[in-house]
Amino acid sequence: MEAIRVEELVRTRITTAEQLEAAVGTPTPAILDKHTTFTTPLMREYIEQARFFVLATSDADGNCDCSPRGDLHSRVLFPDEKTLVLPDRPGNRRADSYRNILENPHVGILFLVPGIDEVVRVNGTASLSTDPDLLAELAMSGKPAQLAVIVQIDEAYLHCARAILRAELWDPQTWADPGTVPSLRDILAEQHNLKLEDLEPARQEAYRAELY
C-alpha cells in the first residue's frame, strides 16, 4: 500500500453536514426516532446482564476519554426508568473519567453482553456520589464500590450488530493467539524507553490479584 499523503487527506476532509451525508447517506425516520429518554424493563434487563461497558466522557475543552469497566456480575442499578447508577472499582487513581465529569457532566455509555451481537447505548448527564448505602449496594466480592456514578438518562437506544458481526468478536476461532499480541509490559517499555528487566514479567501484572 502506498503511503498516505497528508495533503490528500486535507484536500478530501469533510467539513459540512452536506458532505457527510453525501458520504454516508441519510438515516430513515425510524432510525432518527429510535431513542427514548427512559429505559424499558427489557432494556434494563439487558443492561443488568451487560458485564462489560465503556464510559465515554470529555472535559470542559472537549478532550475525550473512553474507559472500560466490568464485573463478572453486573452491578448497574436503576432507581427509576430515567436513572442508572454505575460502580467504581479500584484502579490506577488517575480518575480521568471522573475529573471530566466534574468539568462536563455529559457521558455516553456502551453496554455489551458477551456473546450477544447487539449493544445498548445510553447518553446522559452524570454526577458522583460516596453515599455509604449506595456504595454498599454496589459491592462486589464483599467490598463496596469506591464511588457511584449517577446518570440521568437523556437518550437510550439499541445499536445494531454490524460492528460486532464484522469483527466476529465472539467467535473464538477468530481470536488472536495471545503470544502474538504485544504485552502491556513490552508496549510500556517501548513507549517510555524503559528496560524490560526493570518491569514485571509480561502478562503477570500485579493488579490481577487485586481486582476489588
Options 2.30.110.10, 2.40.160.20, 3.40.50.1370, 3.20.20.70; CATH for 29-166 is 2.30.110.10
Report how far residue 55's alpha carbon sits from residue 75's, in angstroms, rounded to the nearest whole number. Answer: 15
Residue 83 identity (one-letter amino acid): T
In the chain, the N- to C-terminal Cα span, in Å, equals 46
Residue of 113, 119, 146 lying closest to 132 (CA atoms): 146
Grid cell, residue 5, equals: 499523503
Q: How many CB atoms neighbour CB 100 within 10 A?
A: 23
Contacts of 59 (CB under 8 A, 6+ apart): 65, 99, 100, 103, 104
Residue with cell 447517506: 25
- pLDDT of 5 reads 75
Helix, coil or strand: residue 84: strand
pTM given for the model: 0.90
**pLDDT tens column, 133-167:** 999 999 999 999 999 999 999 999 999 999 999 99
85-120 residue pLDDT tens: 999 999 889 999 999 999 999 999 999 999 999 999
Q: Per-domain residue ranges for the chain?
A: 29-166, 176-209
Which pLDDT does position 2 carry in this prediction? Answer: 59
Maximum CA extent, the chain: 59
